[in-house]
Amino acid sequence: MPLPDIEPIPSPRLTLRTVRIEDLPALLTINGDPEVTRFLPYPTWASIDDGRAWLERMEGLTAAGATRQLVITLNATAQVIGTFLVFRYDEGSARAEVGYVLGRKHWGQGLMHEALRAFCRHAYTRLGLRRLEAEVNPDNAASNAVLQRVGFRHEGTFRQRWVAKGRAYDTHFYGLLASDWSDSP
Ligand SMILES: CC(C)(COP(=O)(O)OP(=O)(O)OC[C@H]1O[C@@H](n2cnc3c(N)ncnc32)[C@H](O)[C@@H]1OP(=O)(O)O)[C@@H](O)C(=O)NCCC(=O)NCCS
Protein backbone atom coordinates (compact mmCIF):
# COMPACT_ATOMS: atom_id res chain seq x y z
CA MET A 1 0.00 0.00 0.00
CA PRO A 2 1.32 3.47 -0.85
CA LEU A 3 1.61 6.28 1.66
CA PRO A 4 -1.97 7.56 1.99
CA ASP A 5 -2.86 10.96 0.50
CA ILE A 6 -2.23 13.67 3.02
CA GLU A 7 -5.17 15.99 3.56
CA PRO A 8 -4.37 19.66 4.36
CA ILE A 9 -2.72 19.94 7.79
CA PRO A 10 -3.53 23.17 9.62
CA SER A 11 -1.59 24.94 12.38
CA PRO A 12 -2.21 28.40 13.86
CA ARG A 13 -0.29 30.31 11.15
CA LEU A 14 0.20 27.69 8.43
CA THR A 15 -1.31 24.97 6.29
CA LEU A 16 0.60 22.05 4.75
CA ARG A 17 -1.05 20.84 1.56
CA THR A 18 -0.14 18.90 -1.60
CA VAL A 19 1.91 20.84 -4.18
CA ARG A 20 0.20 22.11 -7.36
CA ILE A 21 1.60 23.39 -10.65
CA GLU A 22 0.37 26.93 -9.84
CA ASP A 23 2.79 26.94 -6.87
CA LEU A 24 5.88 26.92 -9.12
CA PRO A 25 6.43 30.73 -9.37
CA ALA A 26 6.45 31.02 -5.55
CA LEU A 27 8.69 27.95 -5.30
CA LEU A 28 11.12 29.52 -7.80
CA THR A 29 11.51 32.53 -5.48
CA ILE A 30 12.31 30.12 -2.62
CA ASN A 31 14.56 27.62 -4.43
CA GLY A 32 16.16 30.30 -6.64
CA ASP A 33 17.94 31.69 -3.57
CA PRO A 34 21.42 30.17 -3.06
CA GLU A 35 21.25 30.86 0.70
CA VAL A 36 18.15 28.63 0.86
CA THR A 37 19.67 25.79 -1.19
CA ARG A 38 23.07 25.99 0.52
CA PHE A 39 22.59 22.75 2.47
CA LEU A 40 20.19 21.08 0.03
CA PRO A 41 21.22 18.24 -2.27
CA TYR A 42 20.00 20.01 -5.43
CA PRO A 43 21.21 23.07 -7.36
CA THR A 44 19.62 26.47 -6.93
CA TRP A 45 16.78 26.79 -9.43
CA ALA A 46 17.68 29.05 -12.35
CA SER A 47 14.26 29.21 -14.05
CA ILE A 48 10.71 27.94 -13.98
CA ASP A 49 11.92 25.02 -16.15
CA ASP A 50 13.90 23.76 -13.15
CA GLY A 51 10.65 23.93 -11.18
CA ARG A 52 8.75 21.99 -13.85
CA ALA A 53 11.43 19.29 -13.95
CA TRP A 54 11.33 19.07 -10.13
CA LEU A 55 7.54 18.76 -10.10
CA GLU A 56 7.66 16.02 -12.73
CA ARG A 57 10.20 14.14 -10.60
CA MET A 58 8.02 14.56 -7.51
CA GLU A 59 4.94 13.33 -9.39
CA GLY A 60 6.89 10.22 -10.43
CA LEU A 61 8.01 9.57 -6.86
CA THR A 62 4.46 10.15 -5.59
CA ALA A 63 3.10 7.64 -8.11
CA ALA A 64 5.67 5.12 -6.89
CA GLY A 65 3.96 5.35 -3.49
CA ALA A 66 6.63 6.30 -0.94
CA THR A 67 6.68 10.09 -1.34
CA ARG A 68 4.34 13.04 -0.85
CA GLN A 69 5.43 16.56 -1.72
CA LEU A 70 3.62 19.22 0.29
CA VAL A 71 3.93 22.99 0.34
CA ILE A 72 3.65 25.28 3.35
CA THR A 73 1.23 28.19 3.00
CA LEU A 74 0.51 31.17 5.24
CA ASN A 75 -3.06 31.08 6.53
CA ALA A 76 -3.31 34.88 6.44
CA THR A 77 -2.61 35.22 2.71
CA ALA A 78 -2.50 31.66 1.25
CA GLN A 79 1.04 32.53 0.02
CA VAL A 80 3.33 29.53 -0.56
CA ILE A 81 6.38 30.08 1.66
CA GLY A 82 8.04 26.66 1.73
CA THR A 83 8.05 22.96 0.96
CA PHE A 84 7.65 19.88 3.12
CA LEU A 85 8.64 16.49 1.74
CA VAL A 86 7.56 13.14 3.17
CA PHE A 87 9.60 10.35 1.60
CA ARG A 88 11.16 6.90 2.04
CA TYR A 89 7.84 5.67 3.48
CA ASP A 90 8.09 2.08 4.63
CA GLU A 91 4.69 0.59 5.25
CA GLY A 92 5.84 -2.49 7.16
CA SER A 93 7.85 -0.42 9.61
CA ALA A 94 5.36 2.48 9.58
CA ARG A 95 8.14 5.03 9.16
CA ALA A 96 8.99 7.89 6.81
CA GLU A 97 11.60 10.60 6.40
CA VAL A 98 10.92 14.34 6.26
CA GLY A 99 12.70 17.24 4.54
CA TYR A 100 11.68 20.91 4.60
CA VAL A 101 12.54 24.29 3.11
CA LEU A 102 11.37 27.80 3.94
CA GLY A 103 11.83 31.00 1.90
CA ARG A 104 14.53 33.17 3.43
CA LYS A 105 12.34 36.10 4.39
CA HIS A 106 10.31 33.78 6.62
CA TRP A 107 13.22 32.36 8.61
CA GLY A 108 13.60 32.93 12.34
CA GLN A 109 9.90 33.23 13.22
CA GLY A 110 9.41 29.71 14.52
CA LEU A 111 7.46 28.77 11.38
CA MET A 112 9.27 25.51 10.58
CA HIS A 113 9.00 24.49 14.21
CA GLU A 114 5.23 25.01 13.91
CA ALA A 115 5.00 23.16 10.56
CA LEU A 116 7.04 20.19 11.77
CA ARG A 117 5.04 19.86 14.99
CA ALA A 118 1.80 19.94 12.99
CA PHE A 119 3.11 17.25 10.64
CA CYS A 120 4.31 15.02 13.51
CA ARG A 121 0.90 15.23 15.17
CA HIS A 122 -0.78 14.28 11.88
CA ALA A 123 1.71 11.47 11.18
CA TYR A 124 1.26 9.81 14.57
CA THR A 125 -2.47 10.35 15.04
CA ARG A 126 -3.84 10.13 11.47
CA LEU A 127 -1.31 8.37 9.24
CA GLY A 128 -0.45 5.69 11.80
CA LEU A 129 3.29 6.23 11.48
CA ARG A 130 5.42 5.09 14.40
CA ARG A 131 8.76 6.67 13.47
CA LEU A 132 9.88 9.80 11.61
CA GLU A 133 13.45 10.37 10.47
CA ALA A 134 15.55 13.25 9.15
CA GLU A 135 19.11 13.67 7.90
CA VAL A 136 20.83 17.03 8.31
CA ASN A 137 24.19 18.56 7.49
CA PRO A 138 25.90 19.20 10.87
CA ASP A 139 26.67 22.78 9.75
CA ASN A 140 22.96 23.54 9.19
CA ALA A 141 22.44 25.02 12.67
CA ALA A 142 18.85 26.14 12.11
CA SER A 143 17.68 22.74 10.86
CA ASN A 144 19.41 20.84 13.68
CA ALA A 145 17.79 23.26 16.16
CA VAL A 146 14.31 22.81 14.66
CA LEU A 147 14.48 19.02 14.93
CA GLN A 148 15.83 19.02 18.47
CA ARG A 149 13.24 21.53 19.65
CA VAL A 150 10.43 19.35 18.27
CA GLY A 151 11.90 16.38 20.15
CA PHE A 152 13.83 14.46 17.49
CA ARG A 153 16.84 12.62 18.92
CA HIS A 154 20.26 12.70 17.32
CA GLU A 155 20.84 8.95 16.77
CA GLY A 156 24.19 9.07 14.99
CA THR A 157 26.38 10.73 12.40
CA PHE A 158 27.15 9.19 9.02
CA ARG A 159 30.55 10.17 7.71
CA GLN A 160 30.72 11.66 4.21
CA ARG A 161 27.36 10.14 3.34
CA TRP A 162 26.44 12.66 0.63
CA VAL A 163 28.27 14.36 -2.17
CA ALA A 164 26.54 17.57 -3.20
CA LYS A 165 27.78 20.75 -4.85
CA GLY A 166 31.14 19.12 -5.43
CA ARG A 167 31.82 18.24 -1.81
CA ALA A 168 31.34 15.22 0.46
CA TYR A 169 29.66 15.91 3.79
CA ASP A 170 28.60 14.14 6.96
CA THR A 171 24.98 13.95 8.07
CA HIS A 172 23.42 13.90 11.51
CA PHE A 173 20.66 11.28 11.59
CA TYR A 174 17.57 12.05 13.71
CA GLY A 175 14.58 9.94 14.76
CA LEU A 176 11.35 10.62 16.61
CA LEU A 177 9.14 7.73 17.75
CA ALA A 178 5.41 8.09 18.21
CA SER A 179 6.03 6.98 21.80
CA ASP A 180 8.51 9.90 22.29
CA TRP A 181 6.07 12.42 20.91
CA SER A 182 4.51 14.94 23.22
CA ASP A 183 1.79 17.21 21.88
CA SER A 184 2.45 19.91 24.45
CA PRO A 185 4.52 22.79 23.01
C1 LIG B 1 16.12 25.16 8.45
C2 LIG B 1 14.92 26.09 8.33
C3 LIG B 1 13.75 25.32 7.75
C4 LIG B 1 14.55 26.62 9.72
O5 LIG B 1 13.30 27.29 9.64
P6 LIG B 1 12.89 28.47 10.64
O7 LIG B 1 11.41 28.64 10.56
O8 LIG B 1 13.74 29.66 10.38
O9 LIG B 1 13.26 27.85 12.03
P10 LIG B 1 12.64 28.32 13.40
O11 LIG B 1 12.34 29.80 13.35
O12 LIG B 1 11.53 27.37 13.75
O13 LIG B 1 13.90 28.18 14.34
C14 LIG B 1 14.27 26.97 14.83
C15 LIG B 1 15.48 27.12 15.70
O16 LIG B 1 16.64 27.37 14.89
C17 LIG B 1 17.36 28.46 15.45
N18 LIG B 1 17.99 29.12 14.33
C19 LIG B 1 17.38 29.72 13.30
N20 LIG B 1 18.30 30.19 12.44
C21 LIG B 1 19.52 29.86 12.96
C22 LIG B 1 20.85 30.04 12.54
N23 LIG B 1 21.14 30.63 11.37
N24 LIG B 1 21.84 29.56 13.32
C25 LIG B 1 21.55 28.93 14.48
N26 LIG B 1 20.32 28.70 14.92
C27 LIG B 1 19.32 29.18 14.17
C28 LIG B 1 16.30 29.31 16.10
O29 LIG B 1 16.86 30.13 17.10
C30 LIG B 1 15.42 28.26 16.69
O31 LIG B 1 15.98 27.71 17.86
P32 LIG B 1 15.12 27.71 19.20
O33 LIG B 1 13.83 27.05 18.85
O34 LIG B 1 15.95 26.90 20.13
O35 LIG B 1 14.97 29.16 19.52
C36 LIG B 1 15.22 27.30 7.40
O37 LIG B 1 16.34 27.96 7.91
C38 LIG B 1 15.47 26.88 5.96
O39 LIG B 1 14.54 26.72 5.18
N40 LIG B 1 16.74 26.73 5.57
C41 LIG B 1 17.09 26.39 4.19
C42 LIG B 1 16.64 25.00 3.76
C43 LIG B 1 17.19 23.92 4.68
O44 LIG B 1 18.37 23.96 5.04
N45 LIG B 1 16.34 22.96 5.02
C46 LIG B 1 16.68 21.87 5.90
C47 LIG B 1 17.39 20.78 5.19
S48 LIG B 1 17.77 19.45 6.30
Domains contained in the chain, CATH given: 9-130 (3.40.630.30)
**Distance, CA 92 to ligand 1 centroid (Å)?**
32
Ligand 1-lining residues (CB < 6 angstroms): 36, 39-40, 99-102, 107-113, 136, 140-143, 145-146, 149
Cβ contact 86:140 at 8 Å: no
Going by C-beta distance under 8 Å and a sequence separation of 6 or more, which residues neighbour residue 62? Answer: 68, 69
CA distance 164 to 167: 6
Q: What is the mean pLDDT of each run of 10 residues along the chain (185 residues)?
A: 92 98 98 97 96 97 96 98 98 97 98 98 96 97 98 97 91 97 75
Handedness of CA 26, 32, 38, 40 (dihedral sign): positive
Give the single-character DSSP code of 23. Answer: G
